[in-house]
């Protein structure tokens, strides 16, 4: 470990994010590692060699967004009961965003709350999902409609896990990095336009900058009443894409890339950004190999699904749109016609 | 409303408990009333006449502890999605402890947390369940193993609802009142030994005294790390009784009455109370018409189920036992032999 970021909302409720080689972790209580069938055969032995505890169990679930639901939560909770984990026990989330969200949620509701530690293995989880305490699952109505705000004991980010990450998963993380840069930090965005994230040192810098950005926002607004919603740039569209195409078919970050381009089209119609700025964001998305195009079979249904999104209040959709590059604005009164147009264009 | 108790842990996280005739409640957002099939036909119309909101929906679930599980939670959450409740919407828990626990839990995890109001209709919920922010459900491993600490916006206690409460349910609430008096307030216990709780004014006084006791404890220790566990007198045994006999067969308060007598047997063996004090508690239980006797078919299995209880830490059971009358003590090293003896005696 060589970098340490303290997320300190208040004295009672702070935790540390460690970045670098994973240091050994020691626990005085029972520990259960929650991971998936993809990660377990490749990395679980390596993780276990770093952990010491009186009792270490493994809970291995199916891999994929399509398993991020209450049924899987119930299975995990049953296992925690089987293992007789008590209120002092600790869960370790070892995997991507899905594992982190579900493990965190189980920790939040098992015996009314036990501790958990995040060890993200995907780029998306490192830069986004593991910071900020959002936990939860999807249901048939939409993404993350069930969950809790629940902070981990600590987060340990070791980019070494990324060596075996499939290309699509890697790009999915890059989409979230672009998202944060485009709406929060122009200098970071311009740096991203130039660099090669396949270089280890550059990637590590991108991770650190992303986490610092996210930490800054989360500390201002833990429960997403204001500023934190800025992190949802592209996400209203992305959630509809994921739901429509079936969870797991298009990865979360892939749909965020598509969603940002749809959001930009709306921002253009509303005069919030210039053509060339929208183009730069789209080019950054393409540069890293992400696909900015998505064609919905049913724009009206796509639009309808917005009304179930958590960002919708009293039947009013609030979009997070870029205002130039490096800034954002909330728009709650976008005319349906313009929104539908952005959906139909699908990145064109 | 004529009595107001403020539960004020800190400035950000306080709520009021109102006691007396229910005042009209006005909301600016969508509201969903969660209640059960027993309450709805008798009281729902009366409640609705007191509530004004842009949109009021009703979610009516089956009545009974046996429905307090994740399956019911999922059904309620689906309905909240169907109704398009958003983050500003408010749930109203209208019923007994089961309704309160489940509605509170749904509020805690719907869209990562929305507001809820408690309107208890049973004596048990008035004096115990609706104060303190414990929410959750049972699973096949035990009671309340899944849940969250989540505080309501406000609690409105109107004893008028009790007019239609079945006798067994009423007695179930009295068991919790005796529990608090016996371990926390000797004067209150001695008062209970003398009074008739079928008298409205006396009952109201008992409710107020119980709530004040519970509020005092909860304010000291919201998350049950210390003093709050005192409220679990009789509950380790009671949870095992409820689980063994099948949820809903013996009411929660009925099993607490039985559990207290088992706990007293253990306290006697450990020299914590005198024979005559144990007898006084048992007589108070009997005086109100509660049954102090329970015979388990399998004492070993009964004992084993303690290890899944939330009060168990690192395989160590902590019992809350009376120390004389009006005081309590935590005992973590009770010999298994004495515990088994208390179980086997079953109130004799």
What are the sequence ranges of the domains in chain A? 3-164, 167-345
Question: Tokens for A53?
Answer: 């505890």
Candidate list A144, A232, A254, A280, residue with the active-site label: A232
DSSP result, B252-291? HHHHHHHHHHHHHHHHHHTTSS-HHHHHHHHHHHHHTT--
B78·A141 Cβ contact <8 A: yes
How many angstroms separate the CA atoms of A170 and A186, rounded?
A: 23
Length of chain B: 348
Q: Using an 8 Å CB-CB cutoff, list chain B residues near A145.
A: 77, 81, 110-111
Q: What is the distance between the alpha carbons of residues A230 and A180, in angstroms, rounded to a whole number?
A: 9
Across the interface, of B74, B84, B105, the residue whose CB is closest to A307 is: B84
Query: Which span out of A316-325, A326-335, B44-53, B328-337 was modeled with the highest average pLDDT?
Result: B44-53
Please tell me the distance from the alpha carbon of residue B189 to that of residue B181, in angstroms, as a whole number: 5
Quote the pLDDT of residue B311: 62
Tell me what the mean pLDDT of segment A92-115 comes to.
97
- pLDDT band of residue A237 (cuts 50, 70, 90) is very high
pLDDT at A303: 95
Q: What is the mean pLDDT of chain B?
A: 92
* A235 tagged catalytic: yes
Same fold, A3-164 and A167-345: no
Would residue B214 show up in a list of annotated catalytic residues for this protein? yes
Q: What is the DSSP string of A166-188?
A: -HHHHHHHHHHHHHHHHHH-HHH
Work out the pLDDT band at B94, boundaries 50, 70, 90.
Answer: very high
Are B86 and A147 an interchain contact pair (Cβ–Cβ within 8 Å)? no
Active site residue A228: yes
More confident residue, A216 or B79: B79
Query: Quick one: pLDDT band at residue B247, thresholds 50, 70, 90?
Result: confident
pLDDT at res. A129? 81
For B66-80, write each residue's pLDDT tens digit: 999 999 999 999 999
Q: Of B8-12, B197-201, B225-229, give the lowest mean pLDDT range.
A: B8-12
Beta carbons within 8 Å of B277's beta carbon, 6+ residues apart: B322, B324, B325
Say yes or no: B74 contacts chain A, CB-CB below 8 A: yes
Residue whose tokens read 């994740």: B70
Of the listed A65, A176, A242, A254, which one is catalytic?
A176
B226 in A contact zone (CB under 8 Å): no
Q: Which of B139, B101, B137, B138 lies closest to B118 in space, CA to CA? A: B101
Q: With bands split at pLDDT 50, 70 and 90, how would you rate the model's confidence at B172?
A: very high
Between the two ends of chain A, the Cα-to-Cα distance in Å is 44
Residue A314: the pLDDT is 62
* Residue of B222, B224, B242, B254 marked catalytic: B224
Eight-class DSSP state of B232: G
Closest partner CB to A310 (pick from B82, B111, B145):
B111
Of residues B320 and B218, which shows the higher confidence score? B320
Choose, from A243, A252, A280, A345, the residue flagged as catalytic.
A252
Strands B115-120 and B154-157: parallel
Strands A154-157, A14-19: pairing is parallel
How many angstroms separate the CA atoms of A214 and B261, rounded?
Answer: 55
The answer to which of A65-69, A244-248, B136-140 has the lowest mean pLDDT is A244-248
- As a whole number of angstroms, the distance between CA A260 and CA A244 comes to 17
Question: Using 50, 70 and 90 to split pLDDT, how confident is the model at B11?
Answer: very low
Query: In whole angstroms, what is the distance from residue A203 CA to residue A123 CA?
Result: 10
- Closest-CA residue of A relative to B141 is A81
Going by pLDDT thresholds of 50, 70 and 90, the confidence category of residue B9 is very low
Q: Per CATH, which fold does A167-345 belong to?
A: Dehydroquinate synthase-like, alpha domain (1.20.1090)
In chain B, % of residues over pLDDT 90 = 80
At B7, the pLDDT band (50, 70, 90 cuts) reads low
Asked if the C-beta of B69 comes within 8 angstroms of chain A's C-beta atoms, the answer is no
Mutation test of the interface with chain B: which of A112, A138, A317, choosing the one with the most B Cβ atoms within 10 A?
A: A112
CA angle (B96, B67, B7) in 5-degree steps: 35
Count interface pairs A-B at CB distance under 8 A: 114
> How confident is the model at residue A216, as a pLDDT?
87
Query: For the domain bounded by A3-164, which CATH number is listed?
Result: 3.40.50.1970
Is B99's pLDDT higher than 60? yes
Q: Is A70 within 8 Å of chain B by CB?
A: yes
What is the C-alpha separation between B50 and B46, in angstroms, rounded?
A: 7
If you average pLDDT over residues A183-197, what whole number do you get? 97
| Residue B107: per-residue pLDDT | 98
Angle, CA A97 vertex, CA A96 and CA A98 arms, to 5°: 95
Confidence of residue B10 (pLDDT cuts 50, 70, 90): very low
The whole-number pLDDT of residue A310 equals 66
Count other C-beta atoms under 10 Å from residue B29's C-beta: 17
Whether residue A147 is predicted with pLDDT greater than 70 in this model: the reply is yes
- Mean pLDDT of all residues in B113-122: 97
Q: Sign of the C-alpha dihedral, residues A32, A36, A40, A42? A: negative
Q: Is B85 left (phi over 0), alpha (psi -120 to 50) or beta?
A: beta
Residue B205's contacts (CB-CB under 8 Å, 6 or more residues apart) are none
Active-site pick, A65, A169, A224, A277: A224
Report chain B residues whose CB lies below 8 A from the CB of A87. 310, 313
Marked catalytic residue, from A239, A265, A280, A311: A239
Burial of B297 (0-12, 13-18, 19+ CB in 10 A): exposed
- CB atoms closer than 10 angstroms to residue A328: 23
SS3 breakdown of chain A: % helix, strand, coil, rounded to 5? 50, 20, 30
Smallest CA–CA distance from A307 into chain B, residue:
B84
CB contact residues (below 8 A), chain B span 261-300, against chain A: none
pLDDT at B268: 97
- If you search the block for the tokens 């109130």, which residue do you land on? B347
**How sure is the predictor about A10, in pLDDT bands with cuts at 50, 70 and 90?**
very low
Rg (CA), chain A: 20
Q: Which residues does residue A3 pair with via DSSP β-bridges, in sequence order?
A: A19
Chain B contact for A304, CB < 8 A? no
Q: Quick check: B34 and B61 in contact, CB under 8 A?
A: yes
Instruction: Give the domain B173-345 fold.
Output: Dehydroquinate synthase-like, alpha domain (1.20.1090)
Residue B211 and residue B19 in contact, taking contact as beta carbons nearer than 8 Å = yes
Of residues B74, B75, B67, the one with CA closest to residue B139: B67
Q: Residue A144: closest CA among chain B residues belongs to which residue? A: B111
Q: How confident is the model at residue B221 (pLDDT cuts 50, 70, 90)?
A: confident
For residue A306, the distance in angstroms to the closest alpha carbon of chain B comes to 11
Mutate to test the interface with B, among A109, A147, A218, A243 (most CBs of B within 10 A): A109
CB contact under 8 A, B88 and A112: no
Q: Is the pLDDT of residue B297 over 70?
A: yes
DSSP alpha helices (H): ranges in chain B?
39-48, 70-82, 97-109, 123-124, 167-184, 186-194, 200-220, 235-245, 252-269, 275-287, 299-304, 336-345
pTM for the predicted model, two decimal places: 0.89
Q: Who among A87, A148, A313 is closest to B87 (CB)?
A: A313
Please report, in angstroms and rounded to a whole number, the separation of the first and last CA atoms in chain B: 44
């Amino acid at each position: 470990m060589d970098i340490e970021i303290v997320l300190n909302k208040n004295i009672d409720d702070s935790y540390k994010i460690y970045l670098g080689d994973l240091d050994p972790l020691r626990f005085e209580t029972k520990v259960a590692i929650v991971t998936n069938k993809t990660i377990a055969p490749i990395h679980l032995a390596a993780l276990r060699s770093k952990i010491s505890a009186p009792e270490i169990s493994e809970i291995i679930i199916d891999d994929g967004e399509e398993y991020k639901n209450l049924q899987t939560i119930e299975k995990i909770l049953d296992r925690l009961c089987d293992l007789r984990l008590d209120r002092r026990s600790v869960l370790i989330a070892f995997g991507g965003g899905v594992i982190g969200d579900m493990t965190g949620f189980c920790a939040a509701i098992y015996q009314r709350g036990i501790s958990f530690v995040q060890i993200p293995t995907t780029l998306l989880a490192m830069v986004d999902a593991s910071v900020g305490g959002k936990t939860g699952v999807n249901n048939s109505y939409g993404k993350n409609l069930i969950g809790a705000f629940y902070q981990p004991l600590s987060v340990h980010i070791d980019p070494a896990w990324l060596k075996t990450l499939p290309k699509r998963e890697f790009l999915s993380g890059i989409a979230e990095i672009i998202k944060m840069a485009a709406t929060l930090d122009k200098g970071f965005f311009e740096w991203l336009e130039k660099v090669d994230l396949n270089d280890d040192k550059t990637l590590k810098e991108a991770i650190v900058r992303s986490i610092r950005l996210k930490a800054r926002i989360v500390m201002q607004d833990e429960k997403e009443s204001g500023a934190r919603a800025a992190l949802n740039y592209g996400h209203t569209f992305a959630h509809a894409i994921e739901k429509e195409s079936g969870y797991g078919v298009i990865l979360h970050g892939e749909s965020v890339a598509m969603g940002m381009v749809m959001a930009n089209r709306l921002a253009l119609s509303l005069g919030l950004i210039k053509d060339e700025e929208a183009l730069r964001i789209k080019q950054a998305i393409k540069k890293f190999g992400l696909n900015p195009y998505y064609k919905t079979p049913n724009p009206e249904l796509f639009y309808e699904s917005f009304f179930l999104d958590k960002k919708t209040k009293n039947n009013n959709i609030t979009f997070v749109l870029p205002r130039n590059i490096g800034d954002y604005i909330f728009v709650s009164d976008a005319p349906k016609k313009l929104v539908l147009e952005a959906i139909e264009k699908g990145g064109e």
